[in-house]
Structure 1
Amino acid sequence: MPLPLSRELAQRVIDQVAPTLEFNINVMDPAGRIIASTDPARIDGFHAVARAVALGEPGIVHDGGSPTERAGVNLPLRLEGGIVGVLGVTGPPERVAPLAQVLVMTIVLLLEREREMDEAARRDAADRELLARLVSGELTGRKIEASLAAGLPELPPPWRLQAILAPGGTDSATAAEDVPPPRAPHRRARFGGAWWILTGGRGTGGEQEPADAPAGAAILDGGPCTTGGELAGSAQALGALAAAPRLLPAPGASGRLRLDELAAELSVACLPPATAAALAGRVAPLRAEHLHTLQAFAAAGGSVSETARELFLHRNTAMQRLDRIRQLTGLDPRIPAEAQTLHLAAIASRRGEPGDPSAPSTMGNMHSSYD
């Protein structure tokens, strides 16, 4: 059963086709009531001929035989196998009949396009609601599995949730056309400064295909999840990280940041603001080159030689920086337990607070090169 033809849609269609015509055009609903017209005075009037057409007449050409009828042509508007309305064109039948046929085809095409756009909008809204509830933690476990099995398209496990963040975490910097939809069955939506893409099943090679991102963006990759519980945990973790983009390291050439490599950043993201600020205070005396050295030292697994090579420093210079860090903070980065505290504190120092002009505004701000 096709959806009813609304007044707004009928009038919008008439307004699109009428400016180039010299004849009056009316659209009637199946009850014969005029719902749109080039003559506003006729709206809401009853059209007996249109009513007959809606009841099954293939189309009526009449010469205005009664005082209430005007000469013209009335043809059914068929959509999805049913009559949703009647088109009437007022004028000499021999002149308006060919025009009416063309107008019917044009209006039906416009109606079909409008319906497709409305349906796409409904699907987009459903995807956004599903993914937002998933990221916020409102959907968990079996509820997730049921929702993904019942939706369009159905998403079989394993699932993979990915968030594409624009540079700086700004929502406006990533346009819809910049993020092509994946080939696999998927749901996707844009909210919270990110594009969220959830895929299901496996690709042709037996593995899930990663999402593509525009230049300068970062992809937070939750990895494969085989149960609703795993997906719930992955989604909430990605949500916490996407809400704190300043904490994220700069992605590599692939632009991808894997969730299982972001445990420290996730830990800081989940801290209360006061706790994170206190932790960041541990490294407040350090200069930028000290923070950069800390980061390189952690990435090098505690190797001074590798840190010096990464920073293009002499080994003795790297040692001096580590000594200076110990002097300024009271924590020695060469002691594993104290190194962990320093690492978390350095990440917390990137957190800042909204509106703080001194806070880094882009992901991986500490990845600038220093001597």
Structure 2
Amino acid sequence: MKLSKSIAQKIVLEMMNVIPYNINVMDENGVIIGSGDIKRIGNIHEGAKKAIDKQHVNEVYEEKGRMKPGVNEPIIIDNNIIGVIGITGNPDEVMRFSKLVRVTAVLLIEQEKINEETQNKRLNRQRFYHELVHRKTEYDNEFYVRAKNYGIDLTKKYQVILVDCNIDSQGFRTICNRHFHYFELDNNKTVFFIRTNQEANTLIKDLEECEDINKIGIGGEEDIVAVSLENAGLAIEFGIKIKPSSKIYIYDDLKLFIHLSYDDKSNLISLLSNLDKVGNKLELIQTLEAYIEENGDINNVANRLNIHRNTLNYRLDRIKQLTGKNPKVLLELFELLCGLIWR
């Protein structure tokens, strides 16, 4: 461990508030790196050099050249001398303060070391999160291990919740403190990494209740986290155009409209595949076609198909069960229409 100039000067200022003597802090070579007398910083301290050579307290009773009377005591961390504390004054007077100054210096140095380690851990975690949200290639063993060190099991699928908000607001910071795995992107956007439905539901509830949240995009569960993040971003981008007043946009709900912008329509074509697999498939297809042609008028559709209203409603419910899309909901009916177009 190396004694920094900043911590050296901090030791000086802390101790000179307590004792009425000048304090000098020297590095492992005896160079003054902190002092109550700023002009002495950068000079060699002969008394400190002797303390380092002897690995013991060095007392100076008489002024010799630039060496003034005082006590110089080595700072020992992990059995290594990393510097020297010097108290200027008659050794018989200042010796009683020497141990106090040394112990305080060691405590401040060890606290600085802990703070530095904590900061390094935080920075390493942020580097990992940064790679996690940008990496779209298959994960290797080294990445799996790194993720596990941060409590993320990438052998399981993860879901991303993307939040656009005032990231400095107290309400949002409180939410972040409750949900450990998150990463701040640019432009007031934050990514939360979610493993279970319970986590997702809890977070979404917290976000809905926070007034500082603008928009929320929810990606699907994916093997590659960056893919879920991309989908969450697309959910917000397309969702704002379709439902501008909404706060939450779910990728799975908007998938069709997003895919409309793609040249590949294979995902849309498969929407009605379940209708093609059931018995008397044309019955449901024809019902859907008639429902669209008659603009959803139940009486006209029933008359056209020569069936009872209850039978029609049963067929519409069956379509909903098999496709996951409700013909009675405008946007979902549009998805079914697109499915018919590309079927």
TM-score grouping bracket, smaller chain normalisation? 0.5 to 0.7
Shift of 1:89: 1.1
- Structure 2 residue aligned with 1:123, among 121, 128, 132? 121
SS of the aligned residue for 2:139 comes to: helix
Contact 2:15 2:23 in 1 (8 A): no
Aligned residue for 2:334? 339
Shift of the 239–19 alpha-carbon distance from structure 1 to 2, 3 Å rule, reads farther
Matches within 5 A, 1:1-371: 2=1, 4-55=2-53, 57-64=55-62, 66-135=64-133, 137-143=134-140, 146-150=142-146, 152-153=149-150, 155-157=152-154, 158=156, 160=158, 162-163=160-161, 165=163, 169-173=165-169, 176-180=173-177, 182=179, 188-192=182-186, 193-198=188-193, 209-210=199-200, 212=203, 213=206, 215-216=209-210, 217=213, 222=219, 225=222, 227=223, 230-241=224-235, 246=240, 249-251=246-248, 260-261=252-253, 263=255, 339-340=334-335
Count of residue pairs the alignment pairs up = 263
Shift of the 85–243 alpha-carbon distance from structure 1 to 2, 3 Å rule, reads farther
Contact 2:129 2:183 in 1 (8 A): yes
Paired with 1:242 and 1:92, the residues of 2 have a C-alpha distance of 73
The structure with higher relative contact order (CA 8 Å, sep 6+) is 1
SS of the aligned residue for 1:83 comes to: strand
Between Structure 1 and Structure 2, the one with more helix by share is 2
Matched residue type, 2:10: R
Contact 2:216 2:247 in 1 (8 A): no
Once structures 1 and 2 are overlaid, which stretch shifts more, 334-343 or 116-125? 334-343
Q: Which is greater in Rg?
A: 2
* Matched-pair identity in %: 20
Shift of 1:33: 0.7
State the TM-score, normalizing by the size of structure 2. 0.60
SS of the aligned residue for 1:141 comes to: coil
Q: Deviations over 1:228-266 (max 9, x none)?
A: xx3232233235456788568435xxxxx7654553686
RMSD: 4.1
SS of the aligned residue for 2:67 comes to: coil
State the TM-score, normalizing by the size of structure 1. 0.56
Paired with 1:334 and 1:208, the residues of 2 have a C-alpha distance of 28
Shift of 1:50: 1.7
